Structure 1
Amino acid sequence: MCKKIVLIAFILILVGCSSSKSVSGTTKSGNSKYNKTNSTPNKNSQSNSRALVTSDLVNGYVFHYKDIAMSNMKKYGIPASIILAQGILESGSGQSNLAVTANNHFGIKCYTDWKGETIHQDDDSAQECFRKYKNPEESFQDHADILSKRNRYASLFNLKKGDYKAWARGLKAAGYATDPNYPEKLIGYIERFHLDQYDNMVLGKDYVLDENQYVKPKPKVVSNTNSNQYIVAKGDTLYSISKKFNIAIEDLKRQNNLNDNAISIGQSILIQK
């Protein structure tokens, strides 16, 4: 009887040791896989962290920063359309992590000459150093300083101030971004949201809706008994119109059968309250 008890105890000890080895081995393997995964930069980490950019966000961003962009165009010669398009693209219309936490609207990295605050996040490599600003205005100023003072961008200033397509391609050629589609993305934002109108405002030109017609609309409201019609003027966005008449953007879109926030100079917008 005693022999049987000893034998059973011996078997239980063996089973317990085997289970312990199995658990230990699994844990080690799991940690090794975890460390390997996290030591390699996620190529999609930057795009995954960017906020969803809607037409409302873009129009709001343009409305907020267009004056700074035009001021920098006057002072430094950088097209306002390019400044705004880069800000929209690089910062997700001000919604990206870098813009929110560091007021960095242009994806500007530290480089060796930066003495201010910094923030680190994954980009082309893991945990790259980016500049941190006190406010977005500092970011716009630093962007202008970099483009106007660094030799690598000197050729841009031989281009026409109103030629946003040449500037977009020139930025890529000068090495501002690694994305091969960077120029097309900037041009797409400029043309969809009519950002070149701000270039023309600085240059004193009428905004061109097409290559054969110059338009000089006068903002006016035509009233009738039931509703108003607002004629879109230079610089107007659906966002600014909604604020002007204290009406929600979604209500404006519904009343005018608009699929997005794109509007053009001379367009009639129905205002119903």
Structure 2
Amino acid sequence: MRMVSLFNIASTAPLMLLTVTALGQRSTAEEYIAQWEEVAVHAMKEHGIPASITLAQGLLESGNGNSELAREARNHFGIKCTPDWTGGKSYHDDDRKNDCFRKYKDAADSYEDHARFLQRPRYAALFELRTTDYKGWAHGLKKAGYATDPRYPQKLIDLIERYELHKLDSGGKPSRTAPAPKPATTKPRPSAGDEVIVSVDGSRPIQRNAFGMKVVTGRKGDTYRGLADELGVLAGQVAKWNDQDKNAAIVEGQVLYLQPKRNQAKEAKEHIVSSGESLWSISQVHGIKLEKLAVYNGLANDAPVKPGTRLVLRRPKR
């Protein structure tokens, strides 16, 4: 069976890679490629999907295999449950609260399922392209509705070229040397007390703000789904952490939380509203959940607040 053959190929990956995952450390893009490139090449030979495209999608959508969905459900492509799905299930917030995602016994099964997923009629035009035409495939996936992020094709192309994955499409091997990170086009402006703790692909610094919470700075053209793909998390989860709908606009320079906000402010006890502020923007400034801020002040989440209003940021004492 094809599923078995993919599993057998995956099981030959270096033991070191499995140990890294078992110890809970974050795997790098290079480690991910080394572990799954043979599976991607096999899928190309079996199904006609460029190995570079499969690997780039896996890298992007699983965050190098580090995303919660990849770790807990062995789901590297974010494939959701369908009415005919009889396998395991894993629930995460995405388009809806507690969306159902497919859960696999082994990540190799996720690769096989991804290959079958692309056999659907809507993707038929892609198979008229050569397997070496990774750019055509990247743009074709977006055109066929695989992703809503307008930057999705370019993200795939950037990964393919950065890690030389296109060499796999013609029988070659990508370089094992980590490429030099590309400089960021827009530098985040950290607040006083912020600390850069990690960088996403060398270009998106994740910081700890003055409250010790993980944040990133929004860039021009960002979307929650695009940001989620870049960071290896679910769009609905990132939007939820920031008390917004996943289709909400992200403004350049906006601070975005990468963890749940607190139930009450850590530093300040109250906030005096300034012109142009809203309950939501105030909740972002202090790292407090919008719902909690509204409840503490006897307001609805979307209630307007007048300049000069004094808002409490902590649970009132009874």
Report the TM-score, using the length of structure 1 for normalisation.
0.54
TM-superposed deviation, 1:159: 1.2
Q: 2:53 aligned with 1:82, yes or no?
A: yes
Matches within 5 A, 1:12-91: 57-91=28-62
Partner of 2:177: 238
Question: Of the two structures, which has the highest relative contact order with CA contacts closer than 8 Å and spacing of 6 or more?
Answer: 1
Partner of 1:170: 140
Alignment partners' CA distance in 1, 2:71 and 2:145: 25
Contact 2:91–2:99 (CA<8 Å) still a contact in 1? Answer: yes
1:100 partner letter: R
Alignment partners' CA distance in 2, 1:128 and 1:178: 17
Partner of 1:50: none
Q: Deviations over 1:61-97 (max 9, x none)?
A: 0000000000000110000000000000000010000
Alignment partners' CA distance in 2, 1:74 and 1:88: 20
Q: 2:124 aligned with 1:154, yes or no?
A: yes
Partner of 1:140: 111
Alignment partners' CA distance in 1, 2:87 and 2:33: 27
Alignment partners' CA distance in 1, 2:160 and 2:174: 13
Partner of 1:120: 91
Alignment partners' CA distance in 1, 2:55 and 2:90: 23
Q: Which one of 136, 141, 160 corresponds to residue 190 of structure 1?
A: 160
Count of residues in correspondence between the two structures: 156
Partner of 1:200: 170
TM-superposed deviation, 1:180: 1.5
Alignment partners' CA distance in 1, 2:82 and 2:147: 15
SS of 2:101's partner is strand
Partner of 2:315: none
**Considering only aligned residues, what root-mean-square deviation do their CA atoms show, in Å?**
2.1
Q: Which one of 74, 77, 102 corresponds to residue 131 of structure 1?
A: 102
TM-superposed deviation, 1:126: 2.1
Partner of 2:70: 99
Structure 1 pair 191/236, CA: closer, same or farther in 2 (3 Å)?
closer
Q: Deviations over 1:158-179 (max 9, x none)?
A: 1111100110111111111121
Partner of 1:15: none
Select the structure that is richer in helix: 1
SS of 2:111's partner is helix
SS of 1:238's partner is coil
Alignment partners' CA distance in 1, 2:94 and 2:143: 20
Alignment partners' CA distance in 2, 1:79 and 1:121: 29
Alignment partners' CA distance in 2, 1:235 and 1:178: 29
SS of 2:72's partner is helix
SS of 1:139's partner is helix
Which ranges in structure 2 are unaligned for 5 or more consecutive residues?
1-25, 179-201, 203-318
Which structure: larger Rg? 1
TM-superposed deviation, 1:125: 2.5
TM-superposed deviation, 1:112: 1.9
Report the TM-score, using the length of structure 2 for normalisation.
0.47
1:200 partner letter: S
Identity of aligned residues (%): 52
1:91 partner letter: S
